[in-house]
Amino acid sequence: MIRKGTCVIVGLVALLATGCGSGSSSGGSGAVTVNLTEQNGSGESGTATLTKEGDKTKVVLALQDNSATMMSEPQPAHIHKGSCAKLDPTPLYGLADVKNGKSTSTVNAKLDDLRNGAFAINVHKSATEIQTYVACGDIGTGKSSGGGGGGNGY
């Protein structure tokens, strides 16, 4: 009798443990964090948190600057096709400008599509210096895009 009870308890514990994943399952919030790394000696880095909202994705950017002052001028941000190493220069989805290190946007794209394709989030120095990239982070694995680009994925 004790053995049967032990098996039931072990079975319940296993079942509960299966339901408590690390956030990568399709049933939870679906939040994914992307590291935004410094580019062009900007001193700016941070994270992008992407959250599934039905068929759309909420994108929250949080940047820090290693210098004493954060850029006070609004900084354009976008989602581009490709990777930080090989970025398509034409933005695919516009994001709200980063102001004082923060930005929140919702894009008309499924989070799973962004994660399974080759996409990157890119932040620019300012609207007048749009050609200068200050931070970038690869969103997806690029596995569904057919492998063009010569092995940039990491």
* Domains detected in the chain: 24-143 (2.60.40.200)
Instruction: List own/partner pairs for 87-94 with CB under 8 A and 24 or more apart.
Output: 87/120, 87/122, 87/133, 87/136, 91/122, 92/119
The dihedral built from the CA positions of residue 81, 83, 84 and 85, taken in this order, carries a sign that is: negative
What average pLDDT is seen over the chain?
Answer: 77
DSSP the chain: -HHHHHHHHHHHHHHHHHT---S-SSSS---EEEEEEE-TT--EEEEEEEEEETTEEEEEEEEEESSSS---S-EEEEEEEE-SSSEEEEEEEEEEEEBTTEEEEEESS-HHHHHHS-EEEEEES-STTTT-EEEEEE-S--GGGTSTTSS---
4-25: pLDDT as tens digits: 544 434 333 333 333 332 233 3
Q: How confident is the model at residue 53 (pLDDT cuts 50, 70, 90)?
A: very high
Q: What is the pLDDT of residues 69-91, one digit of tens each?
A: 556 789 999 999 999 999 999 99
**How does pLDDT run across 58-69, given as a tens digit for each residue?**
999 999 987 655
